[in-house]
């Protein structure tokens, strides 16, 4: 019996190395540090959909290597969600020259951003996990496919908009969590 593979820590190491190399290349091109970090982050992730499709076509998805690759992709996606949440807070404290404005306000801003995201995730996992399926069951009970589609769209947009206004997270992150629920 094969043990269930754990998500590889190599994903985080690979992302750090790719981000560092991308940042170094961007800075060699004369870009700012902030622009280089964004460039490096963009280079550090793989397309989950493309890789899953390739694994599926080669019938490798259910092998140990396939499960490790999926774990790697999940770690990359989660790290990228965290990076996308923190980038706006970081952008507020970087001047036009690409250097940080100060460590103390930056740490306070990052801490506040993480606290708001944690509150949003908690609310979605506690309330959203129960309320959204309950509402969708009621709508599905009407038998109208159009109404169900409209309800799903309205809930996803409502959670995304509410998260952006109440918690300061991105519209895309709110839609991501609504879709997960």
pLDDT tens sequence across 81-123 = 778 777 777 777 665 444 555 567 767 777 887 888 788 778 8
Among the residue ranges 58-67, 86-95, 144-153, the one predicted with the least confidence is 86-95
pLDDT at 103: 61
Q: What is the 3-state secondary structure (H, E, C) of the chain?
A: CCCCCCCCCHHHHHHHHHHHHHHHHHHHCCCCHHHHHHHHHHHCCCCHHHHHHHHHHCCCCCCHHHHHHHHHHHHHHHHHHHHHHHHHHHHCCECCCCCECCHHHHHHHHHHHHHHHHHHHHHHHHHHHHHHHHHHHHHHCCCCHHHHHHHHHHHHHHHHHHHHHHHCCCHHHHHHHHHHC
pTM for the structure as a whole: 0.62
């Amino acid at each position: 019996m094969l043990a269930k593979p754990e998500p590889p820590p190599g994903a985080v190491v690979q992302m750090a190395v790719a981000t560092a190399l991308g940042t170094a290349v961007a800075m060699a091109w004369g870009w700012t540090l902030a622009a280089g970090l964004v460039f490096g982050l963009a280079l550090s992730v793989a397309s989950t959909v493309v890789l899953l499709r390739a694994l599926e076509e080669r019938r490798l998805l259910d092998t140990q290597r396939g499960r490790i690759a999926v774990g790697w992709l999940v770690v990359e996606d989660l790290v990228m969600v965290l990076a996308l949440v923190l980038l706006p807070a970081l952008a507020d404290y970087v001047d036009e020259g690409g250097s940080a404005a100060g460590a103390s306000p930056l740490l306070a801003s990052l801490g506040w951003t993480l606290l708001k995201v944690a509150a949003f995730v908690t609310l979605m996992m506690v309330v959203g996990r129960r309320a959204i399926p309950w509402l969708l069951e009621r709508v599905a009970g009407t038998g109208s496919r159009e109404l169900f589609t409209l309800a799903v769209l309205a809930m996803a947009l409502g959670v995304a908009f509410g998260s952006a206004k109440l918690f300061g997270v991105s519209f895309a992150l709110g839609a991501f969590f609504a879709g997960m629920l």
